[in-house]
A and B are shown apart, each in its own frame.
Chain A
């Protein structure tokens, strides 16, 4: 949130500043040209996602290793509250005890991981990118190409990756619970039902199948895009707020005014973002449970 003034002083315009901050580190020295290119990988997203997964996993493991049935400490109690919350939601939404053995821990993973990845937004927007610029330049590279994005959930690859994983799990549980035949029957007979008349049955089957495919696509896309959109917008607003303070040109009225705006807006948005970060993590977890729960139930 705290702006580093040097960004604009190097004769970088606000547009260039934002664009630089929104470019991933993918090894090409610039932004990705094609819409879809599986030859590239965003090193920053992968690094931070894995780093956060390891940190969050370690925290959970640390709590689990020392968990006792006796009086819990504060840390253990906090983790227990999370586990209890996830377990309760899973129990309400997924009625198969067998499936819950995997899906409940999966939901906990989703919540912890998404929450921590979202929380990367609370770090000052220029802190890690500037540190990376220094390291990158120190390694003898062009500092103008030192791209670094620290919020993995503001990368559509990360959120859609998770959403598609949930979709794959939904397909798996559909087949596991209903069998291939049962599920195939459901695909053509729900949501509008079937008919005794073969012609109507065929028409309804096509419509049902289309509806089912649209439903799966819509669920998955909205699942991933909702999180991405929220976090991308949150990050972007932090950058815009940072730009206000970055226009500092000395002790004059416009600079002071903008700096005050930066402080007030930065504080307000950060506080509001606490809600967004937690809420989006919770929503992502709940939708994961809801979708997998739906895969267990016939229409």
Chain B
């Protein structure tokens, strides 16, 4: 309980220690605390912004998806129409070709029949003349009966 110079020494040490703390301890720690606080505030703000951005992006993605689906539907509709048209055209073409072929075949057949008939007719005429010649060689003069033969020929055509 006695006072002595320790008292003075304590005052000096106290002030020096306080000065040291003020100079080298307090500023770096409070600076770190303040920086961390602002970092956390920034982080929270960034998180909020990211959340908003995410919502916006999701909306845009769904819009794009909808648009793409619509355009795909349009393209598919067009393609179906075009395909139907192509099929239709092909069918018409085929019908036309078949018709033409049939016509050509008929014409050809008619021509062939005509020619056969002509041939047949001339052969029949020749045969008739030959037959008649044989019969009439003896009795008919070809020159005399020329009119008769021509008539006959015409009748057979």
By the criterion of a CB under 8 Å from any partner CB, how many residues of chain B are at the interface?
33
In this complex, the member of B14, B24, B33 whose beta carbon has the largest number of chain A beta carbons within 10 angstroms is: B14
**Is B29 located at the chain interface by the 8 A CB criterion?**
yes
Task: Classify the secondary structure of A's interface with B.
Answer: helix
| Selected contact of A41 from candidates B1, B5, B17, B18, CB within 8 Å | B5
**Is B150 located at the chain interface by the 8 A CB criterion?**
no
Report A-chain residues with C-beta under 8 Å of the C-beta of B18. 102, 105-106, 109-110
Are A64 and B11 in touch, CB under 8 angstroms? no
Report B-chain residues with C-beta under 8 Å of the C-beta of A259. none
Measured between alpha carbons, how far is A293 from B122 in the docked complex, in Å? Answer: 150
> In residues 69-92 of chain A, which contact B (Cβ within 8 Å)?
69-70, 72, 76, 79-80, 83-84, 87
Output the least CB separation between B34 and chain A (Å).
Answer: 8
Stretch of A6-14, A28-36, A173-181, A190-198 with 4 or more beta carbons under 8 angstroms from chain B? A28-36
Identify the closest chain A residue to B32 (Cβ): A67
By the criterion of a CB under 8 Å from any partner CB, how many residues of chain A are at the interface?
55
A sample of 26 inter-chain contacts (CB < 8 A) reads: A35-B1, A35-B3, A37-B2, A38-B4, A41-B9, A42-B4, A46-B9, A49-B9, A49-B13, A53-B13, A57-B25, A64-B28, A67-B32, A69-B32, A69-B36, A70-B36, A80-B29, A102-B22, A105-B22, A108-B21, A110-B18, A156-B2, A157-B6, A157-B9, A157-B10, A165-B10
Which residues of B approach A to under 8 Å, CB–CB? 1-11, 13-18, 20-22, 24-33, 35-36, 39
